[in-house]
Amino acid sequence: MKVKPVILCGGSGTRLFPNFKKSPSKQFIDFGGWTLFEKTLDRISNSIFDSPIISTNKSYEKLVRKFLKKKKIKKFKIILEPAKKNTAPAIICSSLIQEIKINQPVVFFPSDHYLPEKNKFNQILKSNLSNLNNNNIFIFGIKPKTPNINYGYLITKKTNKNINKVTRFIEKPYENKAKKLIDQKAYWNSGIVLARKDSIINNTKKIQKKLFNHCLKSIIKSKFKNNKINLNKKNFSKIKAISFDYAILEKATNVNAIKLNLEWSDLGSWVEIFKIIKSKSIKTFINKNTFYRPWGNYKNFFRGENFLLKELTVYKKSSISLQKHRHRAEHWTVMSGKPKITIGKKIFFKKANESVFIPKGAIHRIENIYSKPIKIVEAQLGYILKEKDIVRYQDMYGRVK
């Protein structure tokens, strides 16, 4: 029996675009000819998969159909949620549609993850299908490369040759805690779930009976038209917004991890996006897009819709001007060095891997008072992203007009 892929496609880009009235959806951002949603569709273009189900909302329907057409996927179902309720209702409602057979394996993919080694992933998924039954659930864990504080973690215990039982879920930890978790051989929680339909139903009925009933009524009373399912608004509105981890996985007694040692990221930060784009940039492109200033240089790596990704290098004993921008905000993440940062009346230091947000109109500056150069990833966020959008107040190089 083929695996039914369900793509969870209802999220937005609020982490990347704070304070935006309409945040661009991360899964649909064009990163130079590709989007994360397209990469997810590519992952299921394999003979082990059945036709996909896309769980999304009305505002994304046109984009979803656009990319399905681009990828020449003709057979599919779209489930439209009337409101954003997190991943638990999306997974449970998707599992309940008649198109999925009662004992069919289902894999739930977040649509905004970067997982380029699709063939290896699919081989590992296939090798675990024989372990599925009507009660267990599998979550894919990623072997950590760094003590990342933006991911949840899994602690596991080997129960036999092929099964790693999840004994504990840890939400996004502090850096010191993350380091200890890696020492304990914890894995990142990817959010990719594999289970049979009957297992999702059995666990939900047992652990979240009220949630199950609301989801079931939302499906039963939904409107079907061709390849689209509009969930019933009245019943769906009664559902409490909750993640599948909190609602089911952390309470279920038979959750196991499938461990992956593959490249993976949820591209939830500008640094992660920057690293992927930089790794694909050739030397001639970087040289062409490097601009020198008295304080150092900046490299323009990628311009997308409402954002520009740059890398700043501030030389020793140097400083950018004290300035503000009328049309853009900025997000800085320190890659190396220890910058002295001014934002408004606040002056503070940041170290590697720490970030700061500069709101539109805020007066700000980076100073390097040390001997080692500073490197910063800068994401400019706004509808106008031009160098002209600089109002200088103080400048050690005489550039204040």
Q: Per residue in 296-332, pLDDT tens?
A: 999 999 999 899 999 999 999 999 999 999 999 999 9
Query: Burial, 364: exposed, middle or buried (Cβ in 10 Å; 0-12, 13-18, 19+)?
Result: buried
Question: Is residue 157 located within the same domain as residue 257?
Answer: yes
The CATH code of the domain that includes 241 is 3.90.550.10
> Nearest Cα to 57, choosing from 112, 108, 8?
8
Chain segment 246-296, per-residue pLDDT in tens:
999 999 999 999 999 999 999 989 999 999 999 999 999 999 999 999 999
pLDDT at residue number 149: 87
Question: Is residue 146 located within the same domain as residue 253?
Answer: yes
In contact, 95 and 201? CB cutoff 8 Å: yes
Domain range for residue 355? 271-394
Question: Is residue 221 located within the same domain as residue 193?
Answer: yes
Number of domains in the chain: 2
Instruction: Give percent above pLDDT 70 in the chain.
Output: 100
pLDDT at residue number 392: 96
Question: Is residue 148 located within the same domain as residue 259?
Answer: yes
Give pTM, 2 decimals: 0.93
Is residue 280 domain-resident?
Answer: yes
Question: Is residue 215 located within the same domain as residue 345?
Answer: no
> Nearest Cα to 256, choosing from 86, 89, 131, 130?
131
Question: Is residue 196 located within the same domain as residue 290?
Answer: no
Question: Is residue 219 located within the same domain as residue 72?
Answer: yes
The letter for the amino acid at 9 is C
Chain segment 39-53, per-residue pLDDT in tens:
999 999 999 999 999
Chain segment 114-158, per-residue pLDDT in tens:
999 999 999 999 999 999 999 999 999 999 988 888 899 999 998
Is residue 399 domain-resident?
Answer: no
Is residue 60 domain-resident?
Answer: yes
Question: Is residue 153 located within the same domain as residue 31?
Answer: yes
pLDDT at 161 over 80: no
Is residue 354 domain-resident?
Answer: yes
pLDDT at 19 over 90: no
Is residue 400 domain-resident?
Answer: no
268, 303, 319 — which closes off a domain? 268
pLDDT at 162 over 90: no
> Nearest Cα to 379, choosing from 288, 323, 295, 302?
302
Question: Is residue 228 located within the same domain as residue 289?
Answer: no
